[in-house]
A and B are shown apart, each in its own frame.
Chain A
Amino acid sequence: MEIHNVILQPEERSRDVPDDTKKVPLEAWIKGWALEDGEIGQEVEIRTPAGRRVKGTLTRVNPGYTHTFGPAIPELSNIGKKLRAMLREGK
């Protein structure tokens, strides 16, 4: 499960943060095993992989990853072809 917490409200943040960052809270997400049943949006307690017990708002159940290698980028696609041809020509 993944839980969410607000760590510092905007007014509690460091004085050194830029103005745009100062307008928003410092938030945290942590994953772990649920210690109790709960629905998305409810407060639940989890045990983290390091063994800590942490409470927070349940955001995801069985959270995974969806980042990818991305689509083809036309601006990159001719680089190899062009340079290989250049190497062949010189030999």
Chain B
Amino acid sequence: MPRDLSYEAVMKRRGEIMQKALGIEYSEFIRTKIAFDYEGMMQKAGYSLEKVREIQRETGVGNTPLLELSNITELVRRTSKKGYGARICVKDEAANPSGSFKDRRASVSIYHAKKMGYPGVLAATSGNYGAAVASQAAMRNLPCIIVQEVFDSRHVGQPEIIEKSRKCEAYGAEVVQLTVGPELFYMALVLLEETGYFNASLYSPFGISGIETLGYELVQQVRERYGKDPAYVVVTHAGGGNVTGTARGILKAGAKNTKIIGASVDLTGLHMASDHDFNRKSFTTGHTGFGVPFATWPDRTDVPKNAARPLRYMDRYVTVTQGEVFYVTEVMAQLEGMERGPAGNTSLAAAIPLARELPEDEIVVVQETEYTGAGKHPQAQLDFARRNGIEVRVGDPRENVPGKSIVIPEDFSQLHVTEVDLRRLKRSYIRNAIEKNEVKEVSGEEIRFLAEDTKESEEFVKQVLEDLGVKVSAKAF
């Protein structure tokens, strides 16, 4: 009997397709509708830090240089109050084989797929992750399919995404280029079922444990060079994996006082699945369109329990504007001699104003860069924005309106961050945990889980539940 390939039928088979394509028995870790054993899942289903380092050594991933941005630090100090302006260092993740930190994320999945005897690997992603999976698959000689969201209904694609398609094809992957829509995951399911390939999900314990080495390495490098721990590590936040994996690595290195600060490009008001809005975004990742929904409901992904849980680790969450990221991309090239990004420079744009908060002897680490290339370049992206009716001008970055204007700062001192109220996101996450799981009453175990999952106290969780009118079971007290 032929498979029923209607959207509804495929989505109904989602659980069994994913089970087969990942080989993780999630039910082993699930405790209640809300609570699950997160650490148990990370330990049992993933790989240890030592093993991950070994896997990554095999394919030349990681051990990237940590570079001090001395000219940028100098400008930060000149635009700070006296004695302030922390030293800014960057982890040059563009030095990974496919040009971004995503090689770390892909490395463990591809190793695991090969070990388990899967005939190939598949990933649904429009980001650098596709190139990373394709590159790792090439090294381990596994066929690879990357499903990407590339075009609007006019068959027009952002130069940045077109470049990402090209790079996957350069590594020998089959690229399925789709028009806009969340059915990217439907297409991935259809192909996983057809091929029996491994799902190199961004959100499995394999993917997240692969990033832990990044946090671990940067702490070791900062200690070795400066004899102290970084005060802040600024992480570009989109789906939550970068924050989660990096923070876990930092904690494994024992840097307990280092603050983890998530940074996203502000794209408030643009709908991620809208055919019209699709090409009015000048950033395809690292933005609030992913950052906020993935923080407030991580379990929206292709796996039953997402290993990327940013609210567990983020101490602060800030946004920057598109114009500011293009500006610092230019600054990085012109003052530091490093042409990188632009999307990978989101955390750099945030690190500059954040470094002004700290005394000169502190260290701020920008934990990634990404390769640049045709399409993945400020000139290509700004030209495309202009051709799609976006106003590009020099001015005050505070006047930036996502989807309407991109304002390039006039002056270095104008770089700023906007603080996102993390407690608001945490309340929203708890509400989602109640509503999406259709829970009427919450147990003590669930309160403990929600407190851990939001890096808050049980009292905070109980207060939110009370505000939501949710019954807390008597056993909870």
Residues of A with Cβ closer than 8 Å to B?
A: 7-8, 12-14, 16-18, 20-21, 23-32, 48-52, 65, 67-73, 75-76, 79-80, 83-84, 86-87, 90
Contacts and interface: CB of A to CB of B under 8 A. Distances in A.
Contact of B78 (A25, A31, A68, A86): A86
Given A48-B174, A75-B382, A79-B331, 7 more contacts: A67-B163, A70-B378, A70-B382, A83-B75, A83-B334, A83-B335, A87-B75
B75 A86 contact: yes
B444 interface: no
B294 interface: no
Contacts of B162: 65, 67
B159 A70 contact: yes
Contacts of B153: 24, 27
Nearest to B274: A18
Contacts of A86: 75, 78, 412
A21 B274 contact: yes
Given A49-B174, A79-B334, A73 B379 contact: yes
Given A26-B178, A50-B120, A68-B380, A75 B392 contact: yes
Given A67-B163, A70-B384, A71-B379, A8 B7 contact: yes
Interface string B170-183: 00111111111111
A79 B412 CA distance: 9
Contacts of A26: 178-179, 181, 183, 187
A67 B178 CA distance: 18
Contacts, number: 161
A39 B393 CA distance: 46
Contacts of A73: 378-379, 382-383, 392
B27 interface: no
A31 B120 CA distance: 18
B330 A69 contact: no
Contacts of A21: 180-181, 273-275
22 contacts: A8-B183, A14-B181, A14-B186, A17-B181, A18-B274, A20-B274, A20-B276, A21-B181, A27-B153, A52-B145, A65-B163, A67-B162, A67-B375, A69-B377, A70-B159, A71-B383, A75-B382, A75-B392, A79-B330, A80-B330, A83-B331, A86-B78
B143 interface: yes
Q: Tell me the dominant secondary structure on chain A's binding face.
A: loop
A79 B381 CA distance: 17
B116 interface: no
Nearest to A49: B174
B392 A87 contact: no
A77 B194 CA distance: 50
B394 interface: yes
B169 interface: yes
B74 interface: yes
Contacts of A16: 182, 273
Interface in B122-167: 143-145, 150-151, 153, 155, 159, 162-163, 166
B173 A49 contact: yes
B333 to A, nearest CB: 7
Contact of A18 (B172, B271, B375): B271
Q: Which of A26, A67, A70: most chain B CB closer than 10 A?
A: A67
B429 interface: no
B19 interface: no
**A-B residue pairs, 6 tightest by C-beta:** A80-B334, A70-B379, A70-B380, A50-B174, A24-B153, A67-B375
Interface string B359-380: 0000000000000001101111
B326 interface: yes
B408 interface: yes
B327 interface: yes
A7 B178 contact: yes
A50 B187 contact: no
Nearest to B152: A24
Given A50-B120, A75-B408, A28 B273 contact: no
Contact of B326 (A12, A20, A27, A76): A76
B334 A68 contact: no
A29 B169 CA distance: 13
Nearest to B6: A12
Given A83-B75, A84-B334, A28 B176 contact: yes
B473 interface: no
Interface string B293-336: 00000000000000000000000000000000011001101110
B182 A80 contact: no
B172 A68 contact: no
